[in-house]
């Protein structure tokens, strides 16, 4: 990949760390929704139909002829949504989603006149390995969004820099709640993936970062006892829910069988609030008027034209959205590779 393209992947401004992102009452309500409305699926199960799409949405590439399985990508990290498409799904959380404090933070961070709450999600986990390959968060484009487009395609469009004319401007407030003694921090590459990473270290309780994660590689630090990080029996259809036998505890199940019980102390909870940003009124109207929207057909035509300009031999697919070979090709061509410097992962102290 062109180093000039890779160097473009740094956030609008350095991430800004804030404390006490939510009040204790808001935190209790946020977690209460999770406890009362599960069970919740793996992040992978939310977003991907096949393993090749995971590679396309993160970093790395699939060697030609290799048949991937889910196993290398499985981490016990689960997800649900509080809000989608600018709509709060739980009335008891409307003050958290339509959040004047957060809107002020992201407008100031981005240097924009307008901000609109867009997505609101949570990740919940117990002991977990590192959060997979460092990645960029899924972005959207005028006319192409998460409701009709798989994450692998959105992320590949982002990485290619071929679609900046249509790319939405976004900013987030991401908060963590974790009291565990081993790991649980947040690794990020604010100066681009060729430079050294930085880490927000746990324990953190209500600490948050204001950031543009579509342009900044990042990943979760491993957390919890090593022996519990990869529970036997974990599969693509595993779920997390409260443990009825332990107050404050959680359990992971696979097809109805409990494969891991998680004590409250080892629970790591992330709350991700995201907004669409508009630099000025003209920028806002361009989106509202749909006068310069992109279509899937245009997007694939742009990719195909660029591949041909690179003199890459390939067969034009009839169903590019679902063609595994074409997904693999796009991944290989537009992948940025892993960041040059990876931080060490935490382990528990050796017994004396």
In this prediction the pTM is 0.89
Strand order across the beta sheet in which 198-200 lies: 198-200, 186-188, 218-220
Burial class (CB in 10 A: 0-12, 13-18, 19+), 151: buried
C-alpha 205/C-alpha 218 separation (Å) is 20
Q: 241 pairs with which residues across the strands? A: 251
The continuous run of DSSP H or E covering 204 comes out as: strand 204-211
Show pLDDT as tens, one digit a residue, over the chain (352 residues). 567 788 899 999 999 999 999 999 999 999 999 999 999 999 988 876 666 666 655 555 555 555 676 666 788 999 999 999 899 999 999 999 999 999 999 999 999 999 999 999 999 999 999 866 788 998 999 999 988 998 889 999 999 999 999 999 999 999 999 999 999 999 999 999 999 999 999 989 999 999 999 999 999 999 999 999 999 999 999 999 999 999 999 999 999 999 999 999 999 999 999 999 999 999 999 999 999 999 999 999 999 999 999 999 999 999 999 898 999 899 889 988 889 899 988 887 644 3
- Which of the 8 DSSP states describes residue 259? E
Span 140-192, pLDDT tens digits: 999 999 889 988 899 999 999 999 999 999 999 999 999 999 999 999 999 99
Domains in the chain, please, with CATH? 3-334 (2.60.120.620)
Burial class (CB in 10 A: 0-12, 13-18, 19+), 104: exposed
Asked if 151 and 252 touch (Cβ cutoff 8 Å), the reply is no
């Amino acid at each position: 990949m062109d180093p000039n393209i890779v160097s473009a992947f740094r956030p609008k401004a350095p991430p800004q760390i804030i404390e006490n992102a939510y009040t204790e009452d808001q935190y209790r309500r946020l977690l209460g929704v999770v406890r009362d409305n599960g069970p919740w699926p793996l992040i992978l199960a939310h977003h991907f139909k096949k393993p090749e799409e995971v590679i396309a949405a993160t970093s790395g590439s699939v060697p030609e002829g290799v048949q991937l399985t889910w196993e290398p990508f499985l981490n016990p990290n689960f997800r649900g949504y509080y809000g989608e498409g600018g709509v709060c799904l739980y009335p008891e959380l409307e003050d958290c989603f339509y959040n004047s404090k957060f809107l002020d933070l992201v407008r100031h961070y981005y240097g924009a006149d307008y901000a609109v709450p867009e997505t609101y999600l949570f990740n919940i986990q117990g002991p977990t390995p590192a959060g997979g390959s460092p990645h960029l968060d899924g972005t959207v484009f005028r006319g192409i969004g998460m409701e009709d487009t798989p994450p692998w395609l959105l992320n590949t469009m982002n990485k290619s820099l071929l679609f900046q004319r249509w790319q939405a401007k976004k900013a987030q407030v991401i908060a963590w709640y974790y009291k565990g003694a081993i790991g649980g921090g947040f690794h990020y590459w604010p100066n681009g993936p060729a430079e050294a990473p930085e880490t927000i270290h746990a324990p953190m309780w209500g600490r948050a970062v204001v950031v543009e994660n579509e342009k900044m590689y990042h990943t979760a630090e491993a957390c919890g006892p090593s022996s519990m990080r990869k529970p036997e029996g974990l599969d693509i259809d595993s779920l997390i829910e409260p443990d009825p036998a332990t107050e404050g505890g959680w359990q992971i199940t696979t097809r109805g069988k409990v494969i891991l019980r998680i004590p409250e102390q080892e629970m790591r909870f992330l709350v991700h609030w995201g907004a669409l940003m508009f630099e000025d009124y003209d920028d806002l109207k361009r989106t509202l008027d749909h006068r310069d929207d992109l279509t899937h057909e245009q997007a694939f035509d742009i990719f195909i034209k660029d591949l041909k300009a690179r003199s890459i031999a390939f067969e034009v697919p009839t169903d590019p959205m679902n063609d595994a070979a074409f997904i693999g090709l796009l991944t290989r061509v537009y992948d940025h590779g892993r960041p040059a410097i990876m931080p060490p992962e935490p382990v528990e102290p050796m017994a004396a």
